[in-house]
C-alpha cells in the first residue's frame, strides 16, 4: 500500500443513489461474511433498502471458519455463496490464485486509492481497520512511534495479538517486518522486551484497559469506541504508519446470481455504503466520507506498505520465523 492515503479525489460524487447501477438486480443473494453479527445485519438491511428486489441469505462466522466451510463446499463441488465479505486481502489473494473469484471490472473505484484495490478487480476493499498502539493512561510515557515500544520503560509491559490467531496481526507483522527501518529486528526487539503474543485483538484491549499491561498493538476501533465511555486508554497512529485490514468484498466465480452480487459490491463501494461503515464506527475507505469521531482525517493516516500476494507467498516462512522468536 502507499505510505499515505491520498485525497486527490476527495470531491468524488456523493449524490448518486446506491441503486443507480444494477437496478434490475433481483432474486436470492447468498452472502458469507466475517463481520460481527450486528454489523452484518445492518449491512444486509441497508443493502435490501437500496435493492428491495433482492432477498439475502447470509452466514456469519470468523474468517477462518467461513473459509473452512467454503473449502468443504469446494471439495464437494457445491459452493453456496455468491459473494464474500471477509477480513483480509491475503485470503482473497489465495482465492484469486485458485481461480475462485469473478472479476468485476465495471465496479466504480474511481474515488479510491488504487493501492486499496486489486488491480484485476477480483476483490475490493470496503473499509480500513488499522492497527496502532494502545496505551493505558497510567503508562510511564505516551508513545508516538513503533520504536517507542522498545524503550526500557516498556519492558515487560507490552501486549500484542498473535499472527497465529489473528489475520489482522498477520498483516501487521508482515507490514512492520517489511518496513526498512523496522524489519524482523524490530520483532526480535519485541521478543527481548518480553512481549508475549497471545490470542486476538480483544484480549490485547482488555489487558491494557485493565492495567495488566501498559502498552499494546491493537485494531483502532476497540479503544476509539471506548475512550468516550471513560476507558482509561489512549490510541496512537504511530509516525511510521499503521497496517490495515480492509475487509474486502468479492464475487465468487461460481456465483448463481451475478447481478445481485455486483449490486452488493456497488452498494458497499457507494457513498451510502461507505457512510454506513462510518456510522458503524469504522474508518471508511472512501476519501470523501468523514471518519467517525475519534479518528483523524483520512489524509492524515499513513499506511504501511503491504503486498498481499507477497504475504501469501511467504506465509509459511513468516509464521516459522515468528514461532522461532516467540514460541507457538
Strands 249-252 and 101-102: antiparallel
Same domain, 64 and 95: yes
Q: Would 1 be classed as within a structural domain? A: no
| Mean pLDDT (whole number) for 245-274 | 98
Confidence of residue 1 (pLDDT cuts 50, 70, 90): very low
Structural domain contains residue 47: yes
Whether the per-residue pLDDT at 10 is higher than 60: the answer is no
> Could you tell me if residue 304 is inside a domain?
no
Does 282 share its domain with 168? no
The structural domain count of the chain equals 2
> What pLDDT, in 10s, does the model give residues 267-323?
999 999 999 999 999 999 999 999 999 999 988 999 999 999 999 999 999 999 999
CATH number of the domain enclosing 141 = 3.40.190.10
pTM of the model: 0.85
Tens-place pLDDT, residues 145-180: 999 999 999 999 999 999 988 888 999 999 999 999
Share of the chain above pLDDT 70, in %: 93
pLDDT at 16: 41
User: 147: which 3 cell numbers?
Assistant: 520504536
**What average pLDDT score do residues 58-73 get?**
93
Considering the domain architecture, whether residues 147 and 36 belong to the same structural domain is answered as no
In three-state form (DSSP H/G/I as H, E/B as E, the rest C), the secondary structure along the chain is CCCECCCCCCCCCCCCCHHHCCCCCCEEEEEEECCCHHHHHHHHHHHHHHCCCEEEEEEECCHHHHHHHHHHHHHHCCCCCCEEECCCHHHHHHHHHCCCEECCCCCCCCCCCHHHECCCCCEECCEEEEEEEEEECCCCCCCCCHHHHHCHHHCCCEECCCCCCCHHHHHHHHHHHCCCCCHHHHHHHHHHCCCCCCCCHHHHHHHHHCCCCCEEEEECHHHHHHHHHCCCEEEECCCCCEEEECCCEEEECCCCCHHHHHHHHHHHHCHHHHHHHHHCCCEECCCCCCCCCCCCCHHHCEECCCCHHHHHHCHHHHHHHHHHHHCC
Q: Is residue 300 part of a domain?
A: no
Domain presence at residue 219 = yes
Per-residue pLDDT for 2 more than 60?
A: no
- pLDDT over 90 at 130, yes or no: yes
Residue 30, domain member (yes or no): yes
Q: What's the confidence (pLDDT) of residue 81?
A: 98
Round to whole Å and give the CA distance between 121 and 175.
Answer: 23
251/191 same-domain check: no
194 within domain boundaries: yes
Q: What is the pLDDT, as a whole number, of residue 24?
A: 75
Average pLDDT over residues 247-257: 98
- Mind listing the pLDDT tens digit for each residue in 193-238? 999 898 899 999 999 999 999 999 999 999 999 999 999 999 999 9
Are 82 and 141 members of one domain? no
Percent of the chain with pLDDT over 90: 85
For residue 207, being part of any structural domain is answered with yes
**Are residues 214 and 153 located together in one domain of the fold?**
yes
24 plus 95 within the same structural domain: yes
**Do residues 211 and 179 share a domain?**
yes
pLDDT in tens, 111-121: 999 999 999 99
pLDDT in the model for residue 143: 98
User: Does 198 share its domain with 291?
Assistant: no
Band of pLDDT at residue 64, cut at 50, 70 and 90: confident
Domain that holds residue 135: 130-243+309-326
Model confidence at 3: pLDDT above 90: no
Whether residue 67 is found in the same domain as residue 108: yes
* Residue 314 and residue 212 in one domain: yes
Amino acid at each position: 500500500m502507499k505510505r499515505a492515503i491520498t485525497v486527490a479525489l476527495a470531491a468524488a460524487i456523493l449524490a448518486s443513489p446506491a441503486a443507480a447501477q444494477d437496478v434490475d438486480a433481483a432474486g436470492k443473494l447468498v452472502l458469507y461474511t466475517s463481520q460481527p453479527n450486528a454489523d452484518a445485519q445492518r449491512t444486509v438491511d441497508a443493502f435490501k433498502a437500496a435493492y428491495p428486489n433482492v432477498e439475502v441469505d447470509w452466514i456469519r462466522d470468523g474468517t477462518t471458519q467461513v473459509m473452512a466451510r467454503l473449502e468443504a463446499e469446494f471439495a464437494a463441488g457445491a459452493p453456496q455463496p455468491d459473494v464474500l465479505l471477509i477480513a483480509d486481502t491475503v485470503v482473497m489473494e489465495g482465492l484469486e490464485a485458485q481461480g475462485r473469484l469473478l472479476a468485476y471490472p465495471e465496479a466504480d473505484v474511481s474515488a479510491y486509492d488504487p493501492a486499496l484495490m486489486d488491480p484485476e478487480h477480483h476483490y475490493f476493499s470496503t473499509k480500513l481497520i488499522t492497527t496502532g498502539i494502545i496505551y493505558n493512561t497510567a503508562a510511564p510515557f505516551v508513545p508516538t512511534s513503533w520504536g517507542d515500544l522498545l524503550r526500557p520503560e516498556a519492558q515487560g509491559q507490552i501486549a500484542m495479538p498473535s499472527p497465529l490467531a489473528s489475520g489482522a496481526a498477520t498483516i501487521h507483522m508482515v507490514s512492520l517486518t517489511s518496513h526498512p527501518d523496522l524489519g524482523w529486528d524490530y520483532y526480535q526487539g519485541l521478543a527481548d522486551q518480553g512481549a508475549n503474543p497471545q490470542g486476538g485483538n480483544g484480549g490485547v484491549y482488555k489487558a491494557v484497559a485493565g492495567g495488566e499491561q501498559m502498552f499494546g498493538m491493537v485494531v483502532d476501533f476497540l479503544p476509539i469506541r471506548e475512550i468516550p465511555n471513560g476507558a482509561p486508554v489512549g490510541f496512537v497512529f504511530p509516525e511510521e504508519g499503521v497496517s490495515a485490514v480492509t475487509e474486502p468484498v468479492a464475487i465468487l466465480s461460481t456465483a448463481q446470481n451475478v447481478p445481485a452480487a455486483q449490486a452488493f459490491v456497488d452498494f458497499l463501494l457507494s457513498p451510502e455504503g461507505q457512510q454506513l461503515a462510518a456510522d458503524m464506527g469504522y474508518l471508511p475507505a472512501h476519501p470523501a466520507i468523514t471518519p467517525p469521531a475519534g479518528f483523524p482525517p483520512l489524509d492524515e493516516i499513513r499506511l504501511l506498505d503491504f503486498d498481499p500476494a507477497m504475504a501469501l507467498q511467504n506465509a509459511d516462512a513468516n509464521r516459522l520465523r515468528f514461532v522461532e522468536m516467540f514460541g507457538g
